[in-house]
């Protein structure tokens, strides 16, 4: 990879240790993705915020970096472990809370916007078509590449952090015109968001850096997010292109059989003790739709709803939060289904969710069983 | 394709998987043990091995898992992949774990339990003991 004189100097350590590490990460990223140079980016979105995911090593690393490093571009942030407004109700241990607050503080010191959201594409203005950004958080990278006409790698937590601190990212294949070599033909009839999540999960396993998807009907926001979340979980793929692709493209069908295989891998329980909605976090459209569906009904068991703080505030003004709380929902900001300590295997054996992404991490990281159901099925079975 | 992503020189025993790894949620960051029941290395530890697998997949936060296992002394000595993904490349870059990618043919020729040395300054990169 070709570096400018200034970039070379940073890599040698002449601009301090943090910049040297940042450039070492960018160079490894560039080598991995066949980039020939670094280019400027306008927005970085960071993952690696939840103490459950980054641990003591991550907390210490960020604390050290924040002593003198500051972000050079607009930088937003993934969810952390809990909602700061109601953490006292959940009996988390003091160590978790203090380490989580230290992480929050380190990011804020570096100049990061404390958005604590995995759906930055729904809560911030989208820049003009073709803008180069650096998004960690796999569902967000896939969403902005596929639906928002931005360009990003499927960044790692470290490559996005390095891009935030330098304002640069390697000019990798995904930032140019990318031509997928696989087309997935969607054959399943009457799909709901769970179907799209499974399609995404399947596509992520089949595709390389990008994949064509053919045979999709109109999709609502919930279904698009489910597909991005599913794909981000299972593979290295970072972009959907909608169409049949070239004639020499390998064609792979996604039919009932393929769907059943994904379902069998992730569905491990017949019913859940609690319900979680929001992985990715729910946007205002989904909150409004949910409030409508819950008119005159109440959940028979705990239902946790994850949404960004800004969305929660808007929903409150419109009156949705009242309606959801009346129906028995716990509305949580700043955190998400994935790896939150608010869901603990000591208290919960199985969780019902409509999220494939959530299911994967609930099963593998939280260590609970998962009962997969679409939202309409959840409302039919779990409310009265 | 042969590439050096993070340089270094180590010798050790191969732990090989034919399955990709999602470091977040599959590898325990304190013990380095694979916790995914569907993975062919379930309950095996990657600590102090030459860890050979096709590619990293999934969450971007997996890079922190790699940095954590290094800090907890439960990391592999080196990693060898067919394809470098950003999570593994940047995790190894920060943790200073040697990482190379190799061709499909060479990947097939490496077997579980082999004793091999990796030297990114040598033209062969991999020497079989």
Domain holding B49: CATH number? 3.50.30.10
Residue for token pair 């180590």: B10
User: What does R_g of chain A's alpha carbons equal in angstroms?
Assistant: 21
Report pLDDT for A33.
87
CA A361-A44-A332 angle, 5° bins? 45
Q: Which of A19, A57, A238 to mutate to test the interface with B (most CBs of B within 10 A)?
A: A57
Q: Which of the 8 DSSP states describes residue A189?
A: S
Tally the domains of chain B: 1
Contact A360/B93, CB-based, under 8 Å?
A: no
SS (H, E, C) chain B: CCEEEECCEEEEEEEECCCCECHHHHECCCCCEECCCCCCCCCCECCCCEEEECCECCCCCHHHHHHHHHHCCCCCCEEEECCCCHHHHHHHHHHCCCEEECCHHHHHHCCCCCEEEEECCCCCCEEEC
Cα–Cα distance between B72 and A185 in angstroms, integer? 44
A64 lies within 8 A of chain B by CB? no
User: What are the residue ranges spanned by the domains of chain A?
Assistant: 5-175, 182-264, 267-382
Say if the Cβ atoms of B61 and A136 lie within 8 Å: yes
Residue ranges making up the domain that contains B16: 3-128
Its pTM stands at: 0.92
Confidence of residue A289 (pLDDT cuts 50, 70, 90): very high
Q: What is the four-CA torsion angle of A184, A137, B83, B107, rounded to 10 degrees? A: -100
Percent of chain A's residues with pLDDT above 90: 92
pLDDT digits (tens, 9 = 90+) for A139-150: 999 999 999 999
Instruction: Give the per-residue pLDDT at A335.
Output: 97
Fold agreement (A5-175, A267-382): yes
Residue B82: φ, ψ to 5°: -80, -35
Query: What count of other Cβ atoms lies within 10 Å of the Cβ of residue B50?
Result: 25
Q: Across residues B95-101, what is the average pLDDT? A: 93
Where does A5-175 sit in CATH, by number? 3.30.499
Active-site residue, B59 included: yes
- The answer to which of A41-45, A62-66, B120-124 has the lowest mean pLDDT is B120-124
Sign of CA dihedral A227, A228, A232, A238: positive
Q: Region B46-59: what's the mean pLDDT? A: 93
Topology (CATH) of A267-382: Aconitase; domain 3 (3.30.499)
Question: How many Cβ atoms sit within 10 Å of the Cβ of residue A129?
Answer: 9
ipTM above threshold 0.85: no
Radius of gyration of chain B measured on its C-alpha atoms = 13
* Shortest alpha-carbon distance between residue B75 and chain A (Å): 13
As a whole number of angstroms, the distance between CA A369 and CA A359 comes to 8
Span A111-136, mean pLDDT? Answer: 98
Would you tell me how many other CB atoms lie within 10 Å of the CB of residue A187? 14
Using a 10 angstrom Cβ sphere, with 0-12 exposed, 13-18 middle and 19 or more buried, the burial of residue B17 is middle
In angstroms, the CA A361 to CA B46 distance is 21
């Amino acid at each position: 990879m070709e570096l400018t004189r200034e970039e070379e100097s940073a890599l040698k350590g002449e601009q301090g240790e943090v910049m040297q590490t940042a450039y070492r990460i960018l160079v490894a990223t560039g080598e991995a993705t066949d980039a020939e140079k670094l280019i400027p980016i306008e927005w970085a979105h960071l993952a690696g915020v939840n103490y459950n995911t980054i641990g003591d090593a991550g907390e210490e690393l960020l604390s050290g970096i924040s002593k003198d490093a500051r972000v050079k571009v607009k930088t937003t942030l993934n969810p952390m472990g809990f909602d700061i407004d109601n953490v006292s109700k959940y009996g988390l241990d003091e160590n978790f809370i203090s380490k989580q607050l230290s992480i929050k503080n380190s990011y804020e010191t570096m100049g990061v916007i404390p958005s604590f959201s995995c759906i930055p594409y729904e809560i911030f203005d989208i820049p003009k078509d073709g803008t180069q950004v650096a998004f960690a958080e796999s569902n967000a990278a896939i969403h902005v590449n596929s639906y928002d006409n931005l360009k990003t790698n499927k960044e790692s937590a470290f490559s996005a952090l390095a891009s935030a601190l330098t304002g640069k990212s390697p000019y990798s294949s995904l930032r140019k015109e990318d031509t997928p070599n696989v087309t997935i033909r969607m054959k399943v009839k009457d799909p709901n968001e769970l179907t799209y999540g499974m399609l995404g999960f399947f596509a992520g396993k089949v595709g390389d850096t990008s994949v064509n998807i053919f045979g999709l009907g109109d999709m609502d926001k919930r279904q698009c997010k489910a597909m991005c979340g599913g794909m981000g979980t299972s593979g290295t793929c970072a972009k959907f292109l909608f169409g049949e692709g070239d004639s020499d493209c390998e064609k792979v069908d996604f039919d009932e059989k393929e769907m059943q295989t994904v379902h069998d891998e992730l569905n491990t329980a017949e019913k859940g003790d609690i319900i979680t909605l929001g992985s990715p976090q729910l946007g205002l459209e989904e909150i409004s739709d949910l409030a409508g569906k819950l008119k005159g009904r109440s959940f028979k068991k705990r239902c946790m709803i994850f949404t960004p703080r800004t969305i929660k505030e808007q929903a409150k003004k419109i009156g949705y939060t009242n309606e959801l709380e009346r129906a028995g929902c716990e509305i949580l900001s700043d955190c998400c289904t994935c790896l939150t300590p608010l869901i603990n295997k000591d208290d919960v054996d199985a969780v019902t969710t409509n999220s494939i992404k959530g299911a994967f991490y609930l099963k593998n990281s939280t260590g609970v069983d998962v009962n997969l159901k679409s939202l309409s099925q959840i409302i039919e079975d779990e409310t009265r | 394709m042969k590439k050096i992503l993070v340089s270094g020189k180590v010798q050790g025993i191969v732990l090989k998987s034919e399955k990709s790894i999602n470091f977040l949620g599959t590898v325990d960051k304190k013990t380095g043990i694979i916790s995914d029941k569907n993975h062919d290395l379930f309950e095996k530890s990657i600590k102090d091995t030459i860890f050979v697998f096709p590619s990293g997949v999934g969450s971007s936060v997996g890079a922190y898992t790699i940095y954590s296992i290094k800090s907890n002394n439960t990391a592999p000595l080196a990693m060898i992949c067919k394809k470098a993904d950003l999570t593994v490349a940047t995790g190894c870059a920060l943790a200073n774990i040697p990482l190379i990618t190799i061709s499909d043919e060479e990947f097939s020729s490496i077997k579980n339990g082999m004793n091999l040395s990796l030297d990114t300054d040598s033209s062969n990169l991999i020497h079989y003991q």
